[in-house]
Amino acid sequence: MKKIVSLFGLGLLLTLGTGCNKEFLEKQPSNDLAAENFYKDEADAQRALNGAYHGLQKSGCYRLRMWTLDIMAGNSIVGAGGASDGLETQQLANFSTTTANPGVADIWSTHYQTILAVNVVLNRVPAINMDATKRDIILGEAHFIRALSYFNLVRLFGKVPLILTPQTTRESLNVARNPVADVYRQIEQDLTSAELVLPETAAIAGHATKGAAKGLLAKVYLTQNKWADAATKAQEVTGLGKYSLGSFSGNFDPNAENGSESLFEIQYAYDPNNNGFGGDAVCNLRSEFMAPRSSNITSGGGFGWNQPTAEFVGQFEAGDRRKALTVFSNGDQLGGYTYSSNSSITGFNTRKFIVPLSAGLQTGFANDPLNTVVLRYADVLLMQAEALNEQGRTTDARGPLNLVRARAGLLPVNTSSQTTMRDAIMKERRIELAFENGERWFDLIRTKDNSGTIRALSFLRALGSPNDQYGVGRGNISEKYLLLPVPQNERDNNSVIDQNPGY
């Protein structure tokens, strides 16, 4: 693929010196990172791995595009300034996406740049003369990052080019898409390799661990309806004895990051040289996007994106402790700020990820230090419950489900009906994981309701056809939109790559 190959020289030099851990965010001068001076020792291997981690920090991945998928899933609307503000996300939410959508292109290119950085690590690090155990861990982390990147791609695009070695200009630049089954097979192989060598506790906070590999593999199995395998992997995570349900709010507190519930999270920090719109930035921008528009509780005043719908807010049960921590409702307070329902189109704003000025942390315009949790223990418990229930073990599924509900202050679910339990688990996932990296969207497209219809189709059509009360075209959903289009610029550069049906 020309776009990937053309980024090899520049992209590698830009990323290799940028770490994603808060302990080593310094950037090396690019002229010190020429290939002939690299891959000599353990420090070089670590810097190369840091470059791969940095890809996960970018806007095409967890800084922006992954969490905006929840807007597609019907939990929220774009909000913001209206008109052309966030037009690419408006298209996604209205199911009017085209092959020229820049947000879709951002997802595709960022993930493949990350895969390129990983492939360089896997290609060059084995030859470095260094401690064998440390080398194996670095390679295991690289396998984990590649698996996560391909997992996002295959869920969003279906068939994708499976590129496992660094490409050079001497090779063919035309790469066809591989079958979905082949991509999942490679993801499973990468994660199996990773879990064998990764430590239970990372030497550097935010790096992949054995629990992260097992937890992600559970989700990969769950997505393919491999229920027994998913349940086994989820149980292996529990069996490690390292994870527990702490406070719900701790998952979104910059002072409680990498805690007992976190299996894997993307590391962010205040960046004195960039804001979140910079490609090489190491800060987050989610707090600014989520804060009520012009509320001035963040450095930039707040952009008012990702406004929860009344339908979503209505799903919270009475007494659910998560509600006030997830959404702003009329009269809610944060620091010295009192929220008014007039602050958004829907009457609600997202509260979950906001780092207010009153927290006293170093922040700036679109420049906040809050990590993004990609996988946490509550998710693992809910996956375990689902996998058990789908095997007909509904009574066993109650245990992990009710652990999550108990933390939220809710009564246990005691049903013996598989269909009732199925709906209860899906609802719990929706509430517990709301606005977290597209989890709701991925649940909608991978599962069917009790009538056998893909949930994305039945649920989104039920919100209004063609428009719901907010003027969003949820009812435009069709099977075509269950996958994103392959970006047209990729097809222009690659004569053998085909398009998804309907685009």
The residue ranges of every structural domain in the chain are 1-198+471-503, 286-370
Give CA–CA dist 398/104, Å, rounded.
38
Q: Indicate the class that CATH gives domain 1-198+471-503.
A: mainly alpha
Spans of the chain, pLDDT less than 50: 1-21, 23-33
pLDDT of residue 28: 40
pLDDT of residue 471: 86
Q: Which residues contact 328 (CB under 8 A, 6 or more apart)?
A: 292, 334, 339, 343, 348, 349, 350, 351
Give CA–CA dist 503/501, Å, rounded.
6
Give CA–CA dist 59/411, Å, rounded.
39
pLDDT of residue 90: 94
CB-side neighbour CA atoms (13 Å) of 433: 29
Q: Pick left, alpha or beta for residue 294 (phi over 0 → left; psi -120 to 50 → alpha; otherwise beta).
A: left
Query: Smallest Cα–Cα separation from 247: which of 382, 413, 409, 439?
Result: 409
In this structure, the number of other CB atoms found within 10 A of the CB of residue 275 comes to 18
Is the separation of the CB atoms in 476 and 467 below 8 Å? Answer: no
Token digits of residue 3 = 């776009």
pLDDT of residue 241: 98
Q: Pick left, alpha or beta for residue 175 (phi over 0 → left; psi -120 to 50 → alpha; otherwise beta).
A: beta
Evaluate the CA torsion angle 46, 52, 53, 58 in order and state its sign: positive
Tell me whether strands 262-266 and 372-376 are parallel, antiparallel or unpaired.
Answer: antiparallel
